[in-house]
Amino acid sequence: MIQPYKGVGEPLIDIGRVEKFYDLGKANTVRALDGVDLKIYPNDYVAIMGPSGSGKSTLMNMLGCLDTPTGGQYYFEGEDVAEMDDNELAFIRNQKIGFVFQSFNLLARASTLRNVELPLVYAGIPKWERQEKAYSACEKVGLGDRVDHKPNELSGGQRQRVAVARALVNDPSILLADEPTGNLDSKTGAEIMELFDELHSLGNTIILVTHEEDIAAHAHRLIRLRDGKIEVDQVNPGRG
């Protein structure tokens, strides 16, 4: 039985009838997102699923303020994202959103600590404070003893932990993870998911994009996309 999801409190993200059309020329328009309504509430734990081409990556980019919609509204903590210029979007990405990518996207030549520090550099935080915060973020993900290692000296799971620490270091409102376990074996993937569960229990809001059912099973809320539209938005029935 489908149980519709009901959020609690003021939504962090409120998007209405959001559209993203890619014009490929000659009446050949791709409707990547075709009128999506979605509210994300504090401490949500959402899994966005859908077959490839369903628009989940586009939605992810949109939610992460990496991309702007061609139609519809987007409010982030009550502020109109569609009206923001590039610097304001950069500020939102820096302060409010923590990204975790499938392929980690770490700086290969930088140590763990420096990788984690990076968002704070763009926030203009002085060095000593940066290092302190970065260090405690590393400890949060269980990498307190790996701060001087470079990515090539770490295992895949550890690398993704670095990426999670980097996403957490600015205390963002939302963690956005795009196939966070896609490049990991299932055992390591499970460990990363445990980390997300723990972060959720500590009060973080988490959005996962995945196509793996057992990863999605960790989330409390399940959204299924098809052809740029939300097909299902429900309390996760697979959670166990």
Partner 1 sequence: MRRFLSEFVESIRIASEQLVAHKTRALLTMLGVIIGVLAVTMMGTAMNGIDKGVRQSLDVVGSDVYFVARHSWEQADDAWRHLKNRPAIRDIESDRINEIISETEDSNLYRAAPDVYWWPQGDVKTKDRSVANVQTRGTDENFEFINNAQIGEGRFFSELEESNARGVVVLGYDVAEALFPYESAIGKTVRVKGIEVEVVGVFERMGSFFGLMSYDNFALVPLKWLRKHYQWEMHTMIRVKIAPDADREEARYELIGAMRRIHKQVAEEEDNFAINSTDSMEEEMSTIKNVLSVAGFGITGLSLFVGAIGIMNITFVSVKERTREIGTRRAIGARRSSIIIQFLMEAVSVCVVGGIIGLAIAYAGKLGIEKIWPDFPFVYSIGLIVMGMTASVVVGVFSGIIPAFMASRLDPATALRHE
Q: How far is CA 216 from CA 49, 56, 180, 224, 228, in A?
A: 8, 14, 11, 11, 19
User: What string marks each residue from 162 to 191 as x (binds partner 1 by CB under 8 A) or -?
Assistant: ----xx--x---------------------
Q: What phi and psi, each to the nearest 5 degrees, are found at residue 157?
A: -60, -40
**Binding of partner 1 at residue 201 (CB under 8 A)?**
no
- Least distance from partner 1 to the Cβ atom of residue 196, Å: 18
Q: What is the largest CA-CA distance in the chain?
A: 57
**93 vs 221, which CB is nearer to partner 1?**
93
Query: Quick one: which segment of 64-72, 202-210, 213-221, 225-233 binds partner 1 (CB under 8 A)?
Result: 64-72
- Least distance from partner 1 to the Cβ atom of residue 167, Å: 8
Query: Which residues make Cβ contacts (< 8 Å) with residue 194, sequence separation at least 6?
Result: none
The first and second tokens of residue 2, run together, are 């489908």
**Binding of partner 1 at residue 107 (CB under 8 A)?**
yes
Q: How far apart are CA 43 and CA 97, in angstroms?
A: 14
Count residues near partner 1 (CB under 8 A).
30
Give me the amino acid identity at 187: K
Query: Quick one: which segment of 27-35, 75-83, 120-128, 220-228 binds partner 1 (CB under 8 A)?
Result: 120-128
Query: Which residues make Cβ contacts (< 8 Å) with residue 80, sequence separation at least 6?
Result: 73, 74
From candidates 19, 67, 77, 197, binder to partner 1 by CB under 8 A: 67
The 10 Å Cβ neighbour count of residue 162 is: 27
Query: Which residues make Cβ contacts (< 8 Å) with residue 52, sequence separation at least 6?
Result: 211
- Least distance from partner 1 to the Cβ atom of residue 27, Å: 23
Query: Quick one: which segment of 87-95, 141-149, 181-189, 216-224 binds partner 1 (CB under 8 A)?
Result: 87-95
Contact 203, 195 (CB under 8 A): no
Contact 38, 74 (CB under 8 A): no
**Binding of partner 1 at residue 228 (CB under 8 A)?**
no
**121 vs 202, which CB is nearer to partner 1?**
121
Residue ranges in contact with partner 1 by CB under 8 A: 61, 64, 66-67, 86-87, 90-91, 93-95, 99, 101, 105, 107, 109-110, 118-119, 121-127, 130, 166-167, 170
